Amino acid sequence: NCAACHQANGKGVPGAFPALDGSKLVAGAKADQIALVLNGKPGTATPAWKQLSDADLAAVITYTRNSWGNKSGDVLPTAVKTARK
């Protein structure tokens, strides 16, 4: 679902959808990225993904944090569970 806008290569679409490759959010605090994926970003095309399991969300976030040029570490399902509270 994310690749439709952010592209399979993580480069996004300039002026429309931000890149995940080299993103400050993806390289930054895990809690910030978890919150964005859980809650979406109002006023943008980024939806909330709360309907997915903690394990699925952790896997997606871990993928973006360690793909392309990113090397930001793993996110555990327990971190997503904590963020939901």
Helices (H) and strands (E) in the chain, counts: 5, 0
* Whether the Cβ atoms of residue 57 and residue 38 lie closer than 8 Å to each other: yes
What is the per-residue pLDDT for 60?
97
What does the alpha-carbon distance between residue 82 and residue 85 come to, in Å, rounded to a whole number?
6
Chain position carrying tokens 């997503």: 80
Question: What pTM does this model have?
Answer: 0.93
Digitized pLDDT (tens) for each residue of the chain, 85 residues in all: 999 999 999 999 999 999 999 999 999 999 999 999 999 999 999 999 999 999 999 999 999 999 999 999 999 999 999 999 9
Contact status, residue 17 vs residue 6, Cβ threshold 8 Å: yes
